[in-house]
Amino acid sequence: MSERETKIIKISNFDVFIITYLTWGEKEEIQNEVTNGVEVSSEGMKGYDSSALLKAKYKLLEIGIVKIKSGEKEIPYSKEWMKNLKCEDGDLIYEALDELQQSKKK
């Protein structure tokens, strides 16, 4: 597979390079994180562990963030880096990536 097209999300002190589409396999990995929270009994679904949603968000970020730059310095993606962003910066990145999951079938 050739190198994927990216777009840049500009936040406070960083340029964040993200993918412009998900592959089928990537979409399935993220959905798997969501479904891991389902608790099933013999009667059917009995509950949901909502921490699975956070795991799915981090999976999307891990897949979607290609590169992070601050000036000329490249910074590796990590959960800690993401957790320490200002709320509005984190939301901007997540929302841009979440749109990739929302593609409508025509």
pLDDT digits (tens, 9 = 90+) for 70-92: 999 999 999 999 999 999 999 99
What is the reported pTM? 0.86
pLDDT over 70 at 24, yes or no: yes
Q: How many CB atoms neighbour CB 54 within 10 A? A: 11
Hey, what are 62's tokens? 């891990």
Mean pLDDT of 14-19: 97
What pLDDT, on the 0 to 100 scale, is given for residue 46? 81
What pLDDT, on the 0 to 100 scale, is given for residue 38? 85
pLDDT over 70 at 1, yes or no: no
pLDDT digits (tens, 9 = 90+) for 36-58: 888 877 788 788 888 999 999 99
Under 8 Å between Cβ of 62 and 77: yes
Domain chopping of the chain, boundaries: 6-101
